[in-house]
Structure 1
Amino acid sequence: MSSGSRDVSLVGVCDGELDPGRHRPSCVTNKVGGLPDWLPGVSRQCPRCGRCGAPLALVSQVYCPLDASPFHRNLHVFACPGAECSGGPQGWRVLRSQGLETQVGAAPPHRPAPAQEAPLSATDWCDTADDWGVEEEEEEEEDEGWAGGGGVKKDQVEEEAAAAEAPSLSGRLQDLSLGASHQDVVPVFRSFFISVVDESDLCGGEDDDCDLAHAQELLREYERREGVAVGEMEGGGGGEEKYEKSRARHGDNVFSRFMKTISPCPQQVLRYCRGGRPLVISEPPADLARAVPACGSCGGPRTFELQLMPALVSLLQRTRKDGGAEAELDFGTLLVYTCVNSCWTTGSGAAVDEFCFAQADPDQQLFK
């Protein structure tokens, strides 16, 4: 995949549940929920809700090194479990952290071996990420990062990373709470591995009748529910024109386009396309591009990188271990914008804040 193919998205889906008692924490693991796994040298943080002041829960951890970069790179997305907070900007926070390969102990997985592989683009960082492995023994667990294209072995990365992040679950909770009271425990969502596929692979070929029939069945169900004809999956242009001219019963063509796009994989929880265009669920503000602030560290522009999807909502349930009641976030999609330069001060121990924009789901019951 060439670096210029900016509109090809990588789709993340939840895989097996991540049991913290059996799986060692790793900064190269892509996951939903749980506790954040920080890169060595990056200070642990407990971000708080800007609206209610409560500790935020980790929603997703994404390992996303960039092409031709010497840095390992993580994005941690946090949110307030309160329904009244997650719908607004103050209830979310995205932190970017980086670390040189010498700090982690191995080269980023996406980087090719000398004279063996061609360089990979930023959108190739997820290759073979679904190969996070099957546990053969309790002390050996393979959970590859999204950037597996370079072929680095997980144990090379984890030897130092795990040593730096080896505290027990209770100890890590205590560190994260940063002096919070017993009643102010950091909320923790159930954790799942994230596997990834190229969105173009979801469409299938002409002979892939099973997948095509399933996608059309989803579309027909949506048409019956909303009273809108979105056209056939075959043929491309004709169906698209028919779709563009139709109007959903609720009058939201943007939402109809959103549904059509995700129909081949409605269970997707994350979309990644750095430098591409987000898939909005409702009409965004006309000045959204101008509303994305410059990077607070270097002053440079930000670009779209990833978004969280509605299917994630039902998976974000509070674990019983943290003493909290079952809770779900309330959002449609969360758009994440990051520094174009991915600026980082070598030796810095503080994660960098990035920008996110939450959109409410106009028809959340479709994903229940």
Structure 2
Amino acid sequence: MAAAGAGPAELGFAEEAPAWRLRREQFPSKVGGRPAWLGEAGLPGPGALACALCGRPPALVLQLYAPLAGRADAFHRGLFLFCCRTPPCCEGLRVFRNQLPRQNDIFSHEPPPENPPEETEDAVCLQLRSGAQLCRVCGCLAPKTCSRCHRAHYCSKEHQALDWRAGHKQACAQSGALDNTVPDHNFLFPEFEIVVETEEEALPEAVEREDAAEAAESMAETPEDVLDSMAKHESREDRIFQKFKSKIAPEPEQILRYGRGITPVWISGENIPQEKDIPNCPCGAKRIFEFQVMPQLLNHLKADRLGRSVDWGVLAVFTCADSCGLGSGYAEEFVWKQDVAGTPGPREGAARWPGV
């Protein structure tokens, strides 16, 4: 993702991709799977990532590679969005930002190769170059270790129990190094590459002419009494939702809209944040809109379960306007969740999530 400024939005689409393209050295933008962490210092630990509502560990929804042009300290820059996917919660959202200069101790100074590597193994890498261990289930920082074999690492007791049931109970007693072929724990969201294209904006005059033509045609075919009824019941909510549908109609498969500093496209007239609702970054700078996750992504996540499942209308992510360093670690940013009108949020009237 490039920094779009006040120009047209960049649209993201989910596509199948070979596993090598989603490795961290490729600086991927992707949906689901384990995080392809950028920097290794200051990884968010279990406490920082835990759902603010139920306390359980989250799953990666998506990550974006979003460097800032002209910023030597943000030559590499990543945004990581997580959510709780454990019923009956399926709500807590957290987003983190990390950035690195081009010259660093992890990645090559040169761009990553565009051809697949010679090796064909897709073993899961659960140890960073710094020596930090990652959870066998979710790929996040893993301070806990299996007390029997001391070779399997986990972020939480919940994920240790999940891995135990998925086969570690048998593998634990075996000698030798732990196999890097990690079982499917049914916890991670399906993994896709996010490919990007710039939104083609129609000229305002053309849009107005099209809208006028459609309105005239509709009025010609609609009985007068129905038109009167429609006029009486027309609401701000209807207009905002219609605007949302019109905006995405040219590219209905878009799963996100990116544009640092542009205006988000809301799906409802309810719970639209005001400036006072977006907390400043701890560095003192304001936070600005950077990207929004669209409801179309839910089709790819396959998160439906009996009972409650992950759901949203729009997820709008706001990040530090200065993209401050805040040391060399991961800075937590702010997510605003907006539901479709008439569908309750996690709590009555609640739309704010931790970000300070």
User: With structure 1 as the length reference, what TM-score do the two structures score?
Assistant: 0.64
Counterpart in the other structure of 1:190: 190
Instruction: Tell me how far 1:306 sits from its aligned partner.
Output: 0.2
Alpha carbon RMSD of aligned pairs, Å? 4.2
Of 80, 85, 93, the match for 1:81 = 85
Task: State how far apart, in whole Å, the 2-side matches of 1:264 and 1:165 are.
Answer: 47
User: What CA deviation, in whole Å up to 9, does each residue of 1:223-242 have, x standing for no partner?
Assistant: xxxxxxxxxx9822233467
Instruction: Tell me how far 1:43 sits from its aligned partner.
Output: 3.6
Counterpart in the other structure of 2:269: 283
Does 2:42 align with 1:56?
no
Counterpart in the other structure of 1:238: 209
Of 293, 297, 320, the match for 2:279 = 293
Check the 8 A contact 1:38/1:165 in 2, yes or no: no
Counterpart in the other structure of 2:337: 358
Instruction: Give 1 or 2: higher helix fraction.
Output: 1
Instruction: Tell me how far 1:252 sits from its aligned partner.
Output: 1.7
Counterpart in the other structure of 1:94: 95
Task: State how far apart, in whole Å, the 1-side matches of 2:291 and 2:131 are.
Answer: 26
Question: Rg: which structure is higher?
Answer: 2
Does 2:299 align with 1:314?
yes
Task: State how far apart, in whole Å, the 2-side matches of 1:284 and 1:361 are.
Answer: 8
Task: State how far apart, in whole Å, the 2-side matches of 1:194 and 1:165 are.
Answer: 29
Q: 1:314-353 alignment to 2 at 5 Å?
A: 314-317=299-302, 328-346=309-327, 348=328, 350-353=329-332
Counterpart in the other structure of 2:28: 29
Counterpart in the other structure of 1:9: 9
Check the 8 A contact 1:65/1:108 in 2, yes or no: no
Task: State how far apart, in whole Å, the 1-side matches of 2:97 and 2:303 are.
Answer: 24
User: What CA deviation, in whole Å up to 9, does each residue of 1:142-166 have, x standing for no partner?
Assistant: xxxxxxxxxxxxxxxxxxx985699
Cα 1:132–1:12 change in 2 (3 A) is farther
Cα 1:17–1:98 change in 2 (3 A) is same
Counterpart in the other structure of 1:216: none
Q: 1:250-261 alignment to 2 at 5 Å?
A: 252-261=238-247
Instruction: Tell me how far 1:100 sits from its aligned partner.
Output: 2.0
Check the 8 A contact 2:78/2:98 in 1, yes or no: yes
Task: State how far apart, in whole Å, the 1-side matches of 2:56 and 2:135 are.
Answer: 20
Instruction: Tell me how far 1:51 sits from its aligned partner.
Output: 0.6
In the alignment, residue 44 of structure 1 is paired with which amino acid? L
Match of 2:319, SS state, is: strand
Unpaired runs of 5+ in structure 1? 110-130, 142-160, 206-232
When structure 1 is superposed on structure 2, of 24-33 and 60-69 the one drifting more is: 24-33
Unpaired runs of 5+ in structure 2? 143-153, 164-184, 217-229, 344-356
Check the 8 A contact 2:90/2:308 in 1, yes or no: no
Task: State how far apart, in whole Å, the 2-side matches of 1:359 and 1:80 are.
Answer: 16
Match of 1:237, SS state, is: helix
User: With structure 2 as the length reference, what TM-score do the two structures score?
Assistant: 0.66
Check the 8 A contact 1:37/1:165 in 2, yes or no: no
Check the 8 A contact 2:4/2:10 in 1, yes or no: no
Task: State how far apart, in whole Å, the 2-side matches of 1:242 and 1:164 are.
Answer: 62
When structure 1 is superposed on structure 2, of 170-179 and 54-63 the one drifting more is: 170-179
In the alignment, residue 98 of structure 1 is paired with which amino acid? Q
Check the 8 A contact 1:278/1:307 in 2, yes or no: yes
Match of 2:296, SS state, is: helix
Task: State how far apart, in whole Å, the 2-side matches of 1:108 and 1:140 are.
Answer: 24
Instruction: Tell me how far 1:188 sits from its aligned partner.
Output: 1.1
Task: State how far apart, in whole Å, the 1-side matches of 2:14 and 2:88 are.
Answer: 26
What is the percent sequence identity of the aligned residues?
29
Cα 1:352–1:67 change in 2 (3 A) is same
